[in-house]
Structure 1
Amino acid sequence: MAKLSFRQVEAFRAVMVTGTTTAAAEMLFISQPAVSRLLNDFESSVDMPLFKREKKRLLPTPEALLLFEEIERSFVGIERLSRIAEELKAFHRGTLRIASMPALAQDFLPKVSHEFMSKNDGISMTVQVRSSHQVADWIATQHFDVGLSAISVSDPAIKVELLAKSRLVCILPPGHPLAEKTTIHPEDLADEMFVSLGTEQSIRYKVDDVFENAGINRRMFFDTQVSHVACSYVLNGSGVSLVDPVTALNFISEGLVVKPFAPAIPFNYNLIHPASRPVSRLALDFCDLLKTRLNELAVNSEGLFEIY
């Protein structure tokens, strides 16, 4: 048997699907004589007649029908692969797995995720909220595609990209005497009831160092691992605190007073990815949207959230 070509098989299938060489030519975007030539070559290659020719009509033989069944199975598989590839290219298919620290997960990340999914119909998204250390562990073990973390991890399994470098802000309850001050300093908070971030947060130790270096005592009223819980306590009159700016901005509409704090205590928002595999187009586009919306948040924050 002579060697078959894909073009011959394609022409045979087109004739079987459409019923005529003219319609097959239109389907394949080639001329009718070209289809006829490919069909004749195909019959020569398989060394058997596949059609009875009656008055310009092609009637498939039983052998042609059996051959078509086998070919169709292969073409269905190819078309399915092609369709999946197009869907992936257009983001109509795929899953994006995100692990985020709480600071971005309360309000900011849900809004960005909703916008991204609205623009990319057909994708699915998984979001888990954990501490920055847990996020890093999940990224290192490739359980998630994108991580949002406050810590810069030195781990060969993780690729770190600085998303935004900012500073902690001071939060006060509505009507607090310090609400009129432009900037809050450690001495302003002497003997204030203080809502502190828990010891699992590395930023806790930076905050403690600032007050210790200034010789300022605080009344350590309450601690929490989650910054938005600190905001809720302060909002209800239970002390003051220092938290990251993105979390604090969520509570301004509820009456929380947010002020710059000096000396500056850096707080970073980092993007992390598994280092051992390329970042998908889906993840890259999501991260681009994340950066855009974070920059817009900074611009509209009236100086409370500054990206350095």
Structure 2
Amino acid sequence: MRLKPRQLEAFRNVMTAHSVTAAAEAMNITQPAVSRLVRDLEVAVGITLFARQGTRLVPTPEAQLLLHEVERLYIGIDQIARAASDIRQHKNVVLRMASVTSLVRPFLHDALIEVIGDRLDLPLVLDVENSRHIWDMVEKNHYDLGFVFGPSRSGDLQTVHLHSSQAVAAMPHDHPLAGREVVTPADLSEYRVLTAGRNSPLRRGLDRAFATAEQAPLNTMETSMLNCCHFAAAGMGVAIVDRTTMRAASVDLCTRPFLPTIDISYFAARPAGSRQIPVLDQIVERMRELLEAESATGLAQ
């Protein structure tokens, strides 16, 4: 199937103008030329797009479905045209960022306020996604900057290590395990364990710990690490999360070190060969400072 832009343009104009005559005027060509382009498109796609009633073309249901896809194409073309105009006029292009939930508040929240503040020349998009999605999208150059869990991906991505955090067992202060100095897999065998999903680095470390100890929890609940903290605060079980996530959750929980130790590393990632954008470097550096300060505060307490 080989489609020509002119065929799609004729089809779109007939559909939106509801008239071959109006479509011909919009394209500055003759009506027979418009009709021919539409017929050629029908042959190319193998679909009847219009029922012919005299000189009128009546769209079929299939034409309505195809129009939806064609409109998406033209939206993309319009976006490219606007981007080209911005580049030509030296306007700032929108900066696209993404972060895992546990780094958004307070860390990225504070970093963006401090670095960008009231600057109106820096349009931003901030998505909150899981690490796998962010790694993939940065690799495809769809994000200018991503904040993720480790381990760091190999390849040409530009990565900066921000911080490493350790797993803890988090529970209400009156929980039976709150009196322990440390919590091990054997200690959790009779409790519901609140844990991150299987793609999380922390979850993989926890699975290895349970397998080595030959101790399986009685019951588990999989959700985001932030949700694990909130469910633990509600008495649903013992959450195995890292200290950075605990800070983000802002819940009153008792925490005990989890053994064997599970390290979680956080990284800033940028596409390979991406242009130098000073404000992104400043955000990354401020994130590292905030995470290091939080770690120092936690050790002092």
TM-score range, shorter chain: 0.5 to 0.7
Structure 2 counterpart of 1:170: 169
* Cα deviations by residue, 1:153-211 (Å, 9 ceiling, x for unpaired): 44534122211122111111231122233322222222111112112324312101102
Q: Is the 8 A contact 2:145 2:268 kept in 1?
A: yes
**In 2, Cα distance between equivalents of 1:250 and 1:258:** 14
Structure 1 counterpart of 2:243: 245
Matches within 5 A, 1:76-95: 95=94
**In 1, Cα distance between equivalents of 2:216 and 2:132:** 29
Structure 2 counterpart of 1:230: 228
Higher alpha-carbon deviation: 270-279 or 113-122: 113-122
* Residue identity opposite 1:194 in structure 2: V
Q: Is the 8 A contact 2:158 2:271 kept in 1?
A: yes
Q: Structure 2: 5+ residue runs without aligned partners?
A: 1-85
Q: What SS is found at the alignment partner of 2:199? A: coil
TM-score norm. by structure 1 comes to: 0.63
Q: CA RMSD in A?
A: 2.4
Structure 2 counterpart of 1:8: none
Deviation of the 1:152 alpha carbon? 3.4
Pairing 1:187–2:186 present: yes
Change (3 A) 1:263 1:160: same
**In 1, Cα distance between equivalents of 2:185 and 2:208:** 11
**In 2, Cα distance between equivalents of 1:183 and 1:119:** 45
Q: Is the 8 A contact 2:192 2:217 kept in 1?
A: yes
Higher alpha-carbon deviation: 106-115 or 266-275: 106-115
Q: Is the 8 A contact 2:150 2:265 kept in 1?
A: yes
**In 2, Cα distance between equivalents of 1:248 and 1:105:** 13
Pairing 1:267–2:267 present: no
* Residue identity opposite 2:244 in structure 1: V
Structure 2 counterpart of 1:131: 130
Matches within 5 A, 1:29-178: 95-118=94-117, 120=119, 122-178=121-177
Change (3 A) 1:195 1:102: same
Q: What SS is found at the alignment partner of 2:95? A: strand
**In 2, Cα distance between equivalents of 1:112 and 1:180:** 37
Deviation of the 1:137 alpha carbon? 1.1
* Residue identity opposite 1:116 in structure 2: V
Q: What SS is found at the alignment partner of 2:115? A: helix
Change (3 A) 1:216 1:147: same
Structure 2 counterpart of 1:298: 295
**In 1, Cα distance between equivalents of 2:300 and 2:178:** 16
**In 1, Cα distance between equivalents of 2:160 and 2:199:** 22
TM-score norm. by structure 2 comes to: 0.64
Q: Give the length in aligned residue pairs.
A: 214
